[in-house]
């Protein structure tokens, strides 16, 4: 009987010893108290806890964590009430301070986030709030990081997830956005029509320039053709005059070679006078030698007429 008790006692002690063997996984830390006082922090590995004397107060996750807080009512500088929910990315850097620095760290961070957000948004108007997300995120991260440093918490990022203005404000913003889109559409349409008109005018201008250049070239070609015709006509007339003069010179040469008598010359002179008298001239000057011959010819004609 005594042996059974010893065996049972040994089994109980073995289970107690096995139950006090702790393996801390990666990215975790165990905060240990001994008789109610902080004893140490266990990191990754195998550890043994003294039964009934030591206890694990808190298991701390060292990985970066994300917490999404519910929307908080805030009032802008121009007295517009809106709902804003935030997302906090944080990491525990000191398990001891995280355990003993604040009673409920998540509730403390949520309340601190709400008050910080109200203070920042209270200095901004509605339009600034909607367009300054990055500025708000940066300010909140700096303030929260400084405030949570005594708690062993590092705030890595703060994001405004949703900004929800009142329904009336949303309707007004939608109307404004619609009007802005219509204005931009009208501007784009006007610019397109302006560009089209400019292109048409440029096309007409180029057409007129090409037409004028074509007319100019045609006029130049016509003038050159007229010039060429005049030159050829003048050359023809010159050649004709040269031929007439040559023929006249040739005739004179032939006459001189024939050595005509005075009678022949007189007859030719009279023929020339006859042709001259048939013209429009009102006065004819007759050489003296031809006058005598003409008088003799008249007398002979009268004598023959009388017979």
Which residues are CB-neighbours of 101 under 8 A, at least 6 positions away?
Answer: 150, 151, 152
Is residue 246 in a domain? yes
Same domain, 103 and 140: yes
Is residue 41 in a domain? yes
Q: Which of 95-99, 100-104, 199-203, 262-266 shows the lowest per-residue confidence on average (mean pLDDT)?
A: 262-266
Residues 18 and 30: their CA atoms lie apart, in Å, by 18
Q: Considering only residues 33 and 244, tell me which one the structure prediction assigns the higher pLDDT.
A: 33
Residues 123 and 73: their CA atoms lie apart, in Å, by 15
Which residues are CB-neighbours of 174 under 8 A, at least 6 positions away?
Answer: none
- In total, how many domains does the chain have? 3
Same domain, 158 and 79: yes
φ and ψ of 89, to 5 deg: -110, 115
Same domain, 161 and 192: no
Is residue 285 in a domain? no
The mean pLDDT of 25-49, rounded to a whole number, is 92
Same domain, 78 and 155: yes
Is residue 140 in a domain? yes
Q: Is 91 helix (H, G, I), strand (E, B) or coil?
A: strand
Residue 153, domain CATH? 3.30.479.30
Residues 170 and 268: their CA atoms lie apart, in Å, by 126
Same domain, 70 and 128: yes
Element (H, E) at 33: strand 28-34
**Domain termination site, one of 237, 252, 267:** 252
The mean pLDDT of 219-229, rounded to a whole number, is 84
Q: Give the pLDDT of residue 78.
A: 86
Q: Is 163 helix (H, G, I), strand (E, B) or coil?
A: strand
Same domain, 54 and 83: no
Q: Give the pLDDT of residue 273.
A: 57
Is residue 276 in a domain? no
Pick left, alpha or beta for residue 50 (phi over 0 → left; psi -120 to 50 → alpha; otherwise beta): beta
| N-terminal to C-terminal alpha carbon distance within the chain | 217
Same domain, 56 and 79: no
pLDDT at 304 over 70: no
Residues 44 and 25: their CA atoms lie apart, in Å, by 5
pLDDT at 152 over 90: yes
Q: Summarize pLDDT for 161-200 with one digit per residue, the tens.
A: 888 888 887 787 788 888 888 888 889 989 998 988 898 8
| Reported confidence tier of residue 265, pLDDT bands at 50, 70, 90 | low
**Domain termination site, one of 40, 60, 80:** 60
Q: Which of 141-145, 149-153, 214-218, 296-300 shows the lowest per-residue confidence on average (mean pLDDT)?
A: 296-300
Q: Give the pLDDT of residue 65.
A: 94
Percentage with pLDDT > 70 across the chain: 82
Same domain, 32 and 52: yes
Start-end of H helices in the chain: 2-19, 95-100, 105-121, 126-131, 133-148, 167-258, 262-277, 288-306
Which residues are CB-neighbours of 66 under 8 A, at least 6 positions away?
Answer: 87, 88, 89
Which of 86, 229, 80 shows the shortest CA–CA distance to 167?
A: 80
Same domain, 35 and 75: no
Q: Considering only residues 38 and 268, tell me which one the structure prediction assigns the higher pLDDT.
A: 38
Which of 54, 88, 58, 44 shows the shortest CA–CA distance to 70?
A: 88
Same domain, 128 and 74: yes
| Reported confidence tier of residue 259, pLDDT bands at 50, 70, 90 | low
**Domain termination site, one of 165, 197, 228:** 165
Same domain, 82 and 146: yes
Is residue 48 in a domain? yes
Whole domain around residue 33: which residue ranges?
Answer: 17-60
Is residue 275 in a domain? no
- Highest-pLDDT range among 27-31, 123-127, 265-269: 27-31
Same domain, 136 and 216: no
């Amino acid at each position: 009987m005594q042996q059974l008790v010893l065996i049972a006692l040994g089994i109980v002690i073995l289970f107690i010893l096995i139950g006090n063997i702790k393996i801390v996984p990666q990215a975790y830390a165990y905060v240990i108290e001994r008789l109610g006082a902080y004893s140490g922090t266990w990191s990754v590995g195998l550890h043994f806890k003294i039964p009934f004397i030591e206890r694990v107060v808190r298991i701390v996750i060292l990985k970066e964590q994300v917490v999404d807080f519910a929307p908080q009512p805030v009032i802008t500088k121009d007295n517009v009430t809106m709902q804003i929910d935030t997302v906090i990315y944080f990491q525990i850097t000191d398990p001891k301070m995280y355990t003993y620095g604040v009673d409920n760290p998540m509730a403390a961070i949520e309340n601190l986030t709400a008050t910080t957000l109200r203070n920042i948004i209270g200095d901004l108007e509605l339009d600034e709030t909607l367009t300054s997300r990055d500025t708000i995120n940066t300010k909140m991260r700096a303030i929260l990081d400084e405030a949570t440093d005594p708690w062993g918490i590092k705030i890595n990022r703060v994001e405004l997830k949703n900004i929800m203005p009142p329904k009336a404000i949303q309707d007004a913003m939608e109307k404004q956005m619609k009007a802005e889109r219509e204005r931009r559409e009208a501007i784009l349409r006007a610019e397109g029509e302006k560009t089209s008109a400019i292109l048409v005018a440029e096309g007409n201008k180029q057409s007129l320039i090409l037409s004028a250049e074509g007319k100019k070239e045609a006029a130049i070609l016509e003038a050159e053709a007229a010039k060429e015709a005049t030159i050829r006509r003048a050359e023809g007339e010159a050649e004709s005059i040269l031929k007439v003069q040559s023929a006249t010179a040739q005739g004179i040469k032939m006459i001189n070679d024939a050595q005509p008598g005075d009678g022949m010359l007189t007859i030719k002179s009279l023929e020339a006078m006859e042709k001259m008298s048939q013209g429009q001239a009102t006065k004819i000057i007759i050489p003296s030698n031809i006058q005598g011959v003409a008088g003799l010819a008249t007398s002979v004609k009268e004598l023959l007429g009388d017979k």
